Amino acid sequence: METKTTTTLPSVNVKLIPFEDFPQLSAKDKAYYGLHPNLAPFYKYPTTIEAFADVIKDKAKDKTNRKVLVEVLKEQYATLDTNNLVGKNIDKLSSEKTFTVITAHQPSLFTGPLYYIYKIISVINLAEKLNAQYPDNQFVPIFVTGGEDHDFEEVNHANVFNKTLTWKNEESGSVGMMKTSTLKPALEELKEILGESDNAKEIFNLIEKAHTENEKYSDATIQMVHELFKDYGLVVVGMNHPKLKAEFRDIIKAEVFEQVSQPFMEKAKKELEEAGFSSQAHARDINFFYLRDQIRHRIVFEDNKYKVLDSDYSFTREEMEAEIDNHPEHFSPNVVMRPLYQERIFPNLAYIGGGGELAYWLERKKQFEHFGLNFPMLIRRNSALWIDKGNQKRMTKLDVDLRFLLQDTHDMEKAFVRENSESELSLKTEKGELAKIFEGIAKRTKDIDQSLVQTVKAEMASQMKSISQLESRLMKAEKQRHEISLNQLKSIQERLFPNNGLQERTDNFLQFYLKHGKNYFAVLKEHLHPLEKGFVVIYE
**Residue 50 in 3-state DSSP?**
coil
Q: Give the pLDDT score at 417.
A: 76
Strand order in the sheet with 288-292: 314-315, 305-308, 295-302, 288-292, 331-333
Q: Give the pLDDT score at 7.
A: 46
Q: Is 525 left (phi over 0), alpha (psi -120 to 50) or beta?
A: alpha
Between the CA of residue 3 and those of 26, 163, 402, 458, what are the distances in Å? 25, 33, 14, 55
Q: Specify burial of residue 330 (Cβ count, 10 A radius: 0-12, 13-18, 19+).
A: buried
Q: Provide CB contacts within 8 A for 101, sequence distance 6+.
A: 123, 126, 127, 130, 139, 140, 141, 142, 348, 349, 350, 351, 352
Q: d(Cα 289, Cα 176) in Å, to the nearest integer?
A: 15
**Residue 93 in 3-state DSSP?**
coil
Q: Strand (E) positions, 375-533?
A: 377-380, 384-387
Q: Give the pLDDT score at 372.
A: 95
DSSP string, 192-246: HHH-SSHHHHHHHHHHHHHHHH-SBHHHHHHHHHHHHHGGGTPEEEE---HHHHH
Contact criterion met (CB below 8 Å) for 256 and 262: no
Q: Is the dihedral of CA 159, 165, 167, 168 positive or negative?
A: positive
Contact criterion met (CB below 8 Å) for 225 and 206: no
Q: d(Cα 118, Cα 505) in Å, to the nearest integer?
A: 11
**Given 3-state DSSP classes, what are the helix, strand and coil percentages for the chain, each rounded to the nearest 5?**
55, 15, 30
Look at residues 187, 188, 150 and name the one whose alpha carbon lies nearest to residue 171: 150
Q: Give the pLDDT score at 283.
A: 86
The DSSP symbol for 90 reads H
Between the CA of residue 537 and those of 217, 244, 502, 518, 519, what are the distances in Å? 33, 39, 12, 19, 17
Q: d(Cα 447, Cα 435) in Å, to the nearest integer?
A: 19
The DSSP symbol for 254 reads I
Q: Provide CB contacts within 8 A for 73, sequence distance 6+.
A: 90, 93, 235, 237
Q: Which amino acid, one-letter code, is at 323? A: E
Q: Give the pLDDT score at 3.
A: 53
Look at residues 353, 376, 386, 381 and name the one whose alpha carbon lies nearest to residue 529: 381
List the pLDDT tens digit at each of the 540 positions of the chain. 455 544 445 478 999 999 999 999 999 899 999 889 999 999 999 999 999 999 999 999 998 999 999 999 999 999 999 988 999 999 999 999 999 999 999 999 999 999 999 999 999 999 999 999 999 999 999 999 988 877 899 999 999 999 999 999 999 889 999 999 999 999 999 999 999 999 999 999 999 999 999 999 999 999 999 999 999 999 999 999 999 999 999 999 999 999 999 999 999 999 998 988 887 767 899 999 999 988 999 999 999 999 999 999 999 999 999 999 999 999 999 999 999 999 999 999 999 999 999 999 999 999 999 999 999 999 999 999 999 999 999 999 999 999 999 999 988 988 887 776 655 545 577 767 777 887 878 787 877 778 777 887 888 788 778 767 766 675 565 666 678 888 898 999 999 999 999 999 999 999 999 999 999 999 999 999 999 999 999 999
Q: Count of CB atoms within 10 A of residue 95's CB?
A: 12
Q: Is the dihedral of CA 476, 478, 481, 485 positive or negative?
A: negative
DSSP string, 142-182: EEEE-TT---HHHHSEEEETTEEEE------S-GGGSBGGG
